[in-house]
């Protein structure tokens, strides 16, 4: 029997290859076959790694020689296309970066390879990871596998759609404000936004030193934990000094080892009421219903829920007053684009990238959604020397202290709330409205996102639209949050997209096929080359 990639886990891959049921080439081929067959449903993939089958063959050789090692041996994974890779361009979904070719892997990619992972390819994203609709000039519009009229969240929406569709065992994302958690919520998946500093951000197309982190998205908490362990193994990195913050006692933790040791008994969870929308709007009610049902299960299992009503916790207000991306974006991007290790044709500065505008009816070489014109225009003339930058950083420090005070005064283990107050938005929407990621993004706090439920079934959503919940902890509580997430996983909320449950016939591949994204499906609401 060929390897069945549907809902495959790290453990199921290892069982297949170590027991001799499948070769590594057969495992990799099964995922390639699914991508070839079903990528037209999601438009999640930008490119496949031309070396993937050769890598699989080398792993079969190692297996035959008794040298198979590594926690991710022969595990096929996909990367968000803002991770530097030597085998493939790193584009950020941007046409002007289509030929931008790193000559060095990002440290997180090196860690994956050292652990034995097979890098299958790279996923679409919201262009340059700037929003949550997952539409780009190079990759087109990624489609939610549960409801083809909706976006997959973002900015790591290509990864979310790919993981939900079993195009890989797990995938990677980045998170500046919502971008690991939004796709997990919108695709009935698990993710971890780690404590800032736990994983180096070197070799990742940047936006903000203050906001940015990277992490995994998977169909199970255990796979998230194993992936996080590997990513964090890159350790201290002088090129990203936030990695110096990791306490020595928390280096080299195996996050999967303690997953089952937690308990709901005695667990105190704060419920952030300011991050809910308590209206009865049709796009909001399903979220509240799902959260209420999940919170009832938590209480029945022994957890204590404590309402948090402090008015400081207003996601819209926090974002409007304290977000510092605009001040850091241009400086960081210029540094990234001017590195000696970046070859190929690419702009040398962020301003040059955005100079490639639509002229005489041509498309231009970038996509910015209209609701972000102000963001980009402001970023092109701003820097950390702006007088208001220090004021906002002081506000971030005060918010961080207020959050720690909320934990201490209520004796909380974690804080919970919906990732998005409303259902993930429709394709063509002005923005991915209603998301709650800003609190963790500014305070550097860890968050594990879990499936919370689904909206009611509709014709366009045969199993409903996924809804996710964030579990936020204090810095360096990543291990505890994963334990809580694992316990919630035992409620079996997750469902598979209807079409993704179908099996695929796996042929024999001589070479890795070329997959090209559909760039013709960009909604007219997002004109290319326009600012």
Instruction: Kindly report the CATH number assigned to the domain that includes residue 283.
Output: 3.90.1300.10
Residues composing the chain: 531
Structural contact between residues 116 and 59, judged by C-beta atoms closer than 8 angstroms: yes
Residues 6+ away with beta carbon under 8 Å from 314: 274
Q: Which residue has the tokens 């993937």?
A: 52
Q: Mention every residue, 6+ apart, whose C-beta is less than 8 A from residue 401.
A: none
Q: Which residues contact 408 (CB under 8 A, 6 or more apart)?
A: none
Domain count within the chain: 1
CA 512 – CA 456 distance, rounded (Å): 39
3-state secondary structure of 306: strand
User: Are 486 and 221 within 8 A, CB to CB?
Assistant: yes
Whether residue 95 contacts residue 88, with contact meaning beta carbons closer than 8 Å, is answered with no
Burial 364-389 (b: 16+ CB within 10 A, else e): bbbbbbebbeebbeebbebeeeeeeb
* C-alpha triplet 362, 363, 369: angle, nearest 5°: 145
d(CA 509, CA 516): 18
Query: Is 250 part of a structural domain of the chain?
Result: yes
Torsion, Cα 518 374 178 322, to 10 degrees, reads: 170
Other CB atoms within 10 Å distance of the CB of residue 278: 8
What is the CB-side half-sphere exposure of residue 261 using CA atoms within 13 A? 7
**Which structure tokens are listed for 495?**
């469902």
* CA 293 from centre of chain: 26
Contact 326, 378 (CB under 8 A): yes
* DSSP symbols for 99-161: T-EESS--HHHHHHHHTT-EEEEEE--SGGG-SSS-EETTTEE---SS-TTB---SSSHHHHH
92 φ, ψ (degrees, to nearest 5): 60, 15
* pLDDT for res 363: 83
In sign, the C-alpha dihedral spanning 447, 452, 458, 459 is: positive
Q: What share of the chain is helix, strand, coil (3-state, %, to 5)?
A: 35, 15, 50
The whole-angstrom separation of Cα 425 and Cα 281 is: 14
Residues 6+ away with beta carbon under 8 Å from 482: 192, 221, 224, 225, 228, 255, 259, 448
CA 343-345-347 angle, 5° bins: 100
CA distances from 402 to 353, 399, 408 (A): 39, 5, 10
40 assigned to some structural domain: yes
Identify the pLDDT of residue 193. Answer: 98
Token pair in block for residue 87: 């085998």
CA–CA gap between residue 215 and residue 189 (Å, rounded): 13
For the question of whether the overall pTM of this predicted structure is more than 0.95, the answer is: yes
Q: Which two tokens stand for residue 366?
A: 């970038």
Q: Residue 16 domain-assigned?
A: yes
Beta strands in 285-430 (DSSP E): 304-308, 342-343, 414-418
DSSP state of 514: P
Cβ atoms < 10 Å from Cβ of 56: 25
pLDDT tens for the chain, 531 residues long, are: 789 999 999 999 999 999 999 999 999 999 999 999 999 999 999 999 999 999 999 999 999 999 999 999 999 999 999 999 999 999 999 999 999 999 999 999 999 999 999 999 999 999 999 999 999 999 999 999 999 999 999 999 999 999 999 999 999 999 999 999 999 999 999 999 999 999 999 999 999 999 999 999 999 999 999 999 999 999 999 999 999 999 999 999 999 999 999 999 999 999 999 999 999 999 999 999 999 999 999 999 999 999 999 999 999 999 999 999 999 999 999 999 999 999 999 999 999 999 999 887 778 999 999 999 999 999 999 999 999 999 999 999 999 999 999 999 999 999 999 999 999 999 999 999 999 999 999 999 999 999 999 999 999 999 999 999 999 999 999 999 999 999 999 999 999 999 999 999 998 999 999 999 999 999 999 999 999
Is the separation of the CB atoms in 82 and 180 below 8 Å?
no
**Residues 272, 430, 326, 344, Cα dihedral to 10°:** 120
Q: What is residue 166's three-state secondary structure?
A: coil
Q: Is the bond preceding residue 155 a cis peptide, omega within 30 degrees?
A: yes
Whether 4 is covered by a domain: the verdict is no
Whether the Cβ atoms of residue 472 and residue 480 lie closer than 8 Å to each other: no
520 in any annotated domain: no
**Residue 180: partners with Cβ closer than 8 Å, 6 or more residues away:** 156, 173, 174, 191, 192, 193, 213, 215, 217, 449
Alpha-carbon gap, residue 66 to 75, rounded angstroms: 17
> 441 is written with which tokens?
């993004």
What's the confidence (pLDDT) of residue 505? 94
518 domain-assigned? no
Per the domain annotation, does 252 fall within a domain? yes
Domain limits for position 311: 10-501
Burial of 340 (0-12, 13-18, 19+ CB in 10 A): exposed
Whether 497 is covered by a domain: the verdict is yes
Cα 407 to Cα 403: distance, rounded to the nearest angstrom: 6
Joined tokens for residue 453: 């439920």
């Amino acid at each position: 029997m060929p390897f069945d990639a549907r809902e495959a886990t790290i453990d199921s891959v290892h069982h297949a290859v170590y027991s001799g049921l499948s070769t590594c080439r057969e495992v990799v081929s099964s995922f390639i076959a699914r991508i070839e067959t079903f990528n037209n449903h999601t438009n999640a993939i930008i490119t496949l790694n031309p070396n993937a089958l050769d890598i699989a063959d080398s792993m079969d050789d190692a297996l035959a020689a008794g040298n198979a090692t590594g926690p991710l041996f022969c595990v096929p994974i996909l990367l968000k296309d803002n991770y530097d890779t030597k085998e493939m361009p790193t584009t950020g979904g941007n046409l002007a970066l289509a030929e931008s070719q790193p000559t060095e892997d990002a440290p997180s990619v090196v860690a994956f390879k050292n652990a034995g992972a097979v890098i299958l390819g790279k996923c679409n994203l919201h262009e340059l990871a700037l929003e949550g609709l997952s539409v780009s000039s190079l990759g087109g519009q990624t489609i939610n596998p549960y409801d083809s009229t909706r976006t997959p969240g973002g900015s790591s929406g290509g990864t979310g759609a790919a993981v939900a569709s079993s195009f890989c065992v797990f995938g990677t994302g980045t998170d500046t404000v919502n971008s690991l958690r939004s796709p997990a919520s919108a695709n009935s998946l698990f993710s971890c936004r780690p404590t800032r500093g736990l994983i180096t951000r070197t070799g990742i197309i940047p936006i903000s030193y203050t906001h940015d982190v990277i992490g995994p998205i998977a169909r199970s908490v255990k796979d998230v934990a194993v992936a996080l362990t590997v990513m964090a193994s890159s350790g201290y990195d002088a090129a990203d000094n936030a990695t110096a913050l990791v306490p020595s006692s928390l280096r080299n933790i195996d996050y999967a080892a303690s997953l089952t040791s937690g308990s709901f008994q005695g667990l105190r969870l704060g419920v952030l009421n300011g991050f809910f929308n308590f209206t009865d709007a049709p796009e909001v009610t399903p979220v509240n219903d799902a959260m209420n049902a999940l919170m009832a299960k938590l209480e029945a299992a022994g957890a204590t829920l404590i309402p948090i009503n402090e008015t400081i916790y207003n996601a819209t207000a926090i974002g409007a007053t304290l977000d510092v991306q605009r001040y850091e974006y241009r400086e960081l991007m210029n540094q990234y684009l001017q590195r000696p290790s970046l070859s190929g044709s690419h702009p040398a500065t962020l301003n040059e990238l955005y100079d490639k505008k639509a002229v005489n009816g041509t498309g231009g070489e970038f996509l910015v959604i209209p609701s972000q014109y102000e963001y980009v225009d402001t970023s092109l003339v701003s820097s950390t020397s702006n007088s208001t930058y220090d004021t906002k950083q002081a506000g971030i420090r005060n918010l961080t202290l207020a959050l720690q005070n909320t934990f201490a005064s209520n004796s909380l283990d974690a804080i919970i709330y919906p990732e998005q107050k409303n259902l993930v938005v429709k394709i063509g929407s002005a923005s991915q409205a209603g998301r709650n990621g800003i609190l963790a993004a500014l305070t550097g706090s860890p968050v594990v996102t879990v499936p919370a439920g689904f909206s009611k079934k509709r014709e366009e959503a045969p199993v409903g639209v996924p809804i996710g919940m964030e579990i936020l902890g204090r810095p360096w509580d990543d291990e505890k949050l994963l334990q809580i997430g694992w316990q919630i996983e035992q409620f079996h909320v997750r469902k598979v997209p209807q079409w993704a449950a179908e099996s695929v016939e796996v042929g024999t591949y001589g070479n890795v096929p070329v997959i090209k994204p559909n760039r013709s499906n960009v909604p007219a609401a997002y004109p290319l080359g326009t600012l």
